Structure 1
Amino acid sequence: MSDGPFPALPLQGARFEGAVLVEELAPGGQVSIRGDLADTTFAEAVTAQAGCAMPGIWQISGTPERGLLWMSPDELLLLLPRAEAAEAARALQARLDAAAVHALVLDVSDARARFRLTGPHLREVMARLTPADMAPGAFPVGHLRRTRLAQVAAAVVHVAEGDMQVLCFRSVADYTFRLLSGAAAPGAELAYF
């Protein structure tokens, strides 16, 4: 839970500049929401809390600062300012309970680290690490993939052309940063995509 003081960044704001810029982002608020995404009452409650529309499959809605990520057929991830996460989770769970909607809402802000990658060779760098197809037609802006980066689970969010975010568990933040930095080392400027 994020009711208490905000934790320090796992890597104290690590940054690497190579074929792309890799930056550790400050922890944001993250609320995991599980339920029947096709249920109208569930969707209305979630979108009212989020302030944006429901995302389509493998898509994002809103912005990386305040939005919804489609994580699986029964799971969304609400992104919002960290100071709002605990109360947003409580309010949404209460609203769903009052409507007798079966759902689980949990503040998971402390669980994940986030990295931002920017640069023109971003697709090539990411293709070195993940089996997910990074081709423009397969992974357009506004989409996300839950995948692996070498040995760790991660979500890759395509925010804008040349701008992606990677979410991983906080416990593997150092390993993930080293993977991303290694893949972005000078010489990764392969114009494949």
Structure 2
Amino acid sequence: MSDPISALKGASFQGFATVREIGPVGMVTLRAKDLKTLDKAIKAAVGTKIPAQRRIEINGDKACGWMSPDEYLLVMPYAEVAKALAAIAKTLTGQHHLAVDVSDARAVFRIEGEKAADVLRKLSPVDFDSLQPAELRRTRAAQVAAALWQQDGGFTLVCFRSVAGYVMGLLTHSAQPGSELV
């Protein structure tokens, strides 16, 4: 097995906010709805409860985000994906579900600093003034599908790995000194 390589090898930019690519991050897409032991499966995989609609439950370096009525994004250290998939399979045996490792298909960015929201305001049709902590938004970053949430004084943004360079360019351009929103 080869070692995981992040999409942009940890690229970063310091403007009026800091932009960093933070991969590789372990991610599992879990498709399931109204299962008797879904809550136990998520707890076994990442140690959180099932999130409410448009929410993310965070437990240290693990999380479970609501993506749609029957879809959850489980986030964990890259090395723990196989263990999480095994826990899900064991807990949901005999129940209709799909759990897939999507770690290598995603890129993850952190946008941090006092004006981090301003970087994203330029790219996404989200009301960042009303975005609550632990609220997960599926949106667009310019022309790219993305998910984002506030965490630890900044934002985490997830997109497809295939557009990581484009998204880094968008974030870098948006965070250029002198382009702050007034």
Query: TM-score under structure 1 normalisation?
Result: 0.88
Instruction: Give the counterpart of 2:165 among 174, 178, 181.
Output: 174
Residue 58 of structure 1 aligns with an amino acid whose one-letter code is R
Point out where structure 2 has 5 or more consecutive residues left out of the alignment.
none
> Distance in 2 between the 1:12 and 1:123 partners?
24
Is 1:28 aligned to residue 13 of structure 2?
no
Structure 1 residue 7 corresponds to structure 2 residue 4 = yes
2:155 aligns with 164
State the AA in 1 paired with 2:97.
A
Deviation at 1:64, TM superposition (A): 6.5
Structure 1 unaligned spans of 5+: none
State the partner residue of 1:114.
Answer: 108
The CA RMSD over aligned residues, in Å, is: 1.6
8 Å Cα contact 2:41/2:87 also seen in 1? no
| Residues 21 and 51 of structure 1: CA distance in aligned 2, closer, same or farther (over 3 Å) | same
TM-score by length of 2: 0.93
Query: Residue 74 of structure 1 aligns with which residue?
Result: 70
Q: CA deviation at 1:90?
A: 2.9
Equivalenced residues, count: 182
Query: Following TM superposition, where does structure 1 have runs of at least 4 consecutive aligned residues deviating by more than 6 angstroms?
Result: none
CA deviation after TM superposition for structure 1 residue 190, in Å: 2.5
Contact 1:42–1:101 (CA under 8 A) maintained in structure 2: no
Change (3 A) 1:115 1:179: same
**Matched position secondary structure for 2:176:** coil
Indicate if the aligned counterparts of 1:45 and 1:96 stay in contact, CA closer than 8 A: yes
Match among 139, 143, 155 for residue 147 of structure 2: 155
Cα displacement (A) at 1:47: 1.7
> Identity across aligned pairs (percent)?
41
Maintained 8 Å contact 2:28/2:101 = yes
Deviations, residues 20-73 of structure 1 (Å, cap 9, x unaligned): 10011031111111101x434222222232211211111111246211111111
Q: Which amino acid aligns with 1:174?
A: G
Question: 2: CA distance between counterparts of 1:27 and 1:186?
Answer: 28
For the pair 1:183 / 2:174, whether they are aligned, the reply is yes
- Distance in 2 separating the partners of 1:57 and 1:126: 22
